[in-house]
Amino acid sequence: MDNNSRFLLRSFRKYYKENRPVMPDRFTKREFGFMFFDREMVQRHIGFPAPDELSRFLIAQVPSHCYYSTAYYRRPSAPTMEEKEWLGADLIFDLDADHLQGAEKMSYSEMLERIKKEMINLTDSFLFTDLGFDEKGVHITFSGGRGYHAHVPSDAVLTLGTHERRELVDYITCSGLNIDWVFPFQRVVTSETKTAAGIRANVAKDRLIPPPEAGGWKKRMREGLMDLVNDVCDLDPKILRRTYPSISSSGIVTIKKMQENVRASRKQIFKNNSLAFLDRNYQEMLVKVMGEDIAPALAAEVDKPVTPDIKRIIRLPGSVHGKTGLRVTPITRDELTDFNPLRDAVPSSYSDEPTKVTLKKDYEFDMKGEHFSLSGETEVPEYAAVFLVGRRAADFGHLSEKKESLF
């Protein structure tokens, strides 16, 4: 075990001596798993009959990462999944900033802020509304690393299988949305033509719009169409093409003609819940934008493989994350709005005492209300040192002192 791991182990042991983990619902039916600073193995298939036993384990063993099963088992400490006897599982939604588009260009703080907005979208637009979960029944947790978890331990979802959970993910992420279901065709007989075989009806196909009382994705898409129509009416054609990539190949003349048509018909469209007032080519252009650009933007961000996995293990609330030293923190929806992990998830057991570290490269961040702009060998408060060493942005101690000690 190197000096960095020893430093983190000491800091984590101090934390676990002063803090107890947050025991999940029905914890005696859960499997627990751990990773460590001083060994390569992952230890799983452990059960704890009482909170005190888990606390003693954490103090004695000092894991770098702590997990528990989203599933409930008759015998959680059995060595194989078959012997455990699955009884049910919480519904889990995992959001990790590492999956965000452009994450590689973001700072750690920027990733945290962006993924928090995604969690707010998930809870407010889907979990508390479309899916009808009660706010008190959804347990939100900062993961301690780069994201958030939403746990739903309700009996109503306990026995949902993998297929049903995947359906929920598809709904939330807008996978497989049928645009013709949202904007169905209305077939209208415009005229009749006499032929040798009889009377032939001439049928027009116009798109309908979801009515104001619609719910779920139809409501979401109606509101999205309102925003799109406003943009079509107000934006410069070149900006419009940049804003909506699905029409980026359309000519400027075509865009301008569509704008004229939409401006003239804006009121009638929503008053009559129909795009019939537009040229049919422009109807299809709007529907194309809605399907390819708007719908994905209205979806929520979730890690798709996590939710359907009914035997998943997930981070234990109240533990600390081995790659940041931050606390895996339970929060309410109200707290989520202003939650700042680099302020609110920093354990108080880490002191303000100056601690020597050596930066691997220049590093700038804010923590506990203090701004740090660091390089080379320096001293920082212990809480910042834990974060920097955990993130592998710095080594514990001063490199020059280590070299001197060799002679």
Residues serving a catalytic function are: 94, 96, 303
Kindly list the distances between the CA atom of residue 261 and the CA atoms of 95, 203, 233, 265, in Å, as whole numbers in the listed order: 41, 22, 9, 6
102-140: burial string, b at 16+ Cβ within 10 Å, e else:
eeeeeebeebbebbbebbbbbbebbbbebbebeeeebbb
Question: What are the counts of helices (DSSP H) followed by strands (DSSP E) for the chain?
Answer: 15, 17
Which tokens go with 371?
């701004």
* Helix/strand/coil for 101: coil
**The one-letter amino acid at 273:** N
Which tokens go with 354?
């100056």
- First and final C-alpha spacing in the chain: 22
DSSP assigned state of 247? G
* Helix/strand/coil for 346: coil
What are 402's strand-pairing partners? none
